[in-house]
Amino acid sequence: MPEIPGDIGAVPPDISFAEAGQSKIGLICFPPNSAGKLDLQATMGEGSLVVHDDDPDMHKSDTVDVEIVISGKVDIALESGETRTLVPGSCLVMGDVMHAWRNHYDEPCIFAIVVTGAKA
């Protein structure tokens, strides 16, 4: 059963992934031409984040993620080598999938995300 924390409306203590049974919502901005320049470990901390050995942008977490692109565009690359470009209005739902976000474009990409912690 979810519990309502007493600090609703306060500045969050971190930007970590949701733990099992928790949900978090946020807005993410990938700056223009930021592909290959993200430091996920420094930004997100340890938690349930798993980073690929050969590609530090490639990661997964024990979460189910719902993302909706609001503006700009961003590529999502999968471990299989597949890449898709997401544009405003694109909606993506995924869980426990190794992936990387890559903005190769000259404008920022902003998307809304709802993350629900799960058990893999």
* pLDDT of amino acid 85: 97
Nearest alpha-carbon partner for 50 in 80, 41, 67, 15:
41
Token pair in block for residue 108? 């920022």
Residue spans of the domains in the chain: they are 23-117
* pTM for this entry: 0.79
What per-residue confidence (pLDDT) applies to 54? 74
* pLDDT (tens place) for every residue of the chain, 120 residues total: 666 766 667 766 666 777 888 888 888 899 999 988 776 666 555 555 666 667 778 888 888 999 999 999 999 999 899 999 999 999 999 998 999 999 999 999 999 999 998 887
Per the CB < 8 A criterion, the answer to whether 86 and 92 are in contact is yes
- What pLDDT was estimated at residue 88? 98
Q: For residue 37, what pLDDT is reported? A: 79
- Residue 100 burial (10 A CB sphere; 0-12, 13-18, 19+): buried
- CATH T-level assignment (fold) for domain 23-117: Jelly Rolls (2.60.120)
Q: What is the pLDDT of residue 67?
A: 96
